[in-house]
Amino acid sequence: MMQHAPIRTLPLADRWPDPPPVDWARDRPRGLEWLASVFDCRAVEIGGIIRRQIVDVGREVGHAVFEAEVRSRGFRLVRTPHHYLIVCSRGPIDVMF
């Protein structure tokens, strides 16, 4: 019988080194650029709904600036425990229940 040399394997860390850290926040908009990106969507064009987390709004631009922008566009703003809902319509709305 023919004997084979044992297969040598490298430790896992040597085979697949950790990738370099990625700074995901580096490429995303901040401040007023973030605010402009909120309203740069199809929902604004068709009278739809935009949803944003309250903590994100506070971190990016502040609640007063956000509310002023919604008001200046003539849209409606609804606040839930964790989200802002923007109704992108100037027409009347009915709250059903």
* Angle between helix 63-72 and helix 31-38 axes, rounded to 10 deg: 40
CA–CA dist 39, 2 (Å, integer): 72
pTM of the model: 0.71
pLDDT at residue number 34? 94
- The residue assigned the tokens 């566009």 is 73
Domain assignments of the chain as residue spans, ordered by start: 29-97
Give the type of residue at 60.
E
56: closest CA among 82, 33, 22, 21? Answer: 82
Residues of the chain with pLDDT under 70: 1-2, 9-17, 19, 22-25
Residue 10 has, within 13 A of its CA and on its CB side, a CA count of 6
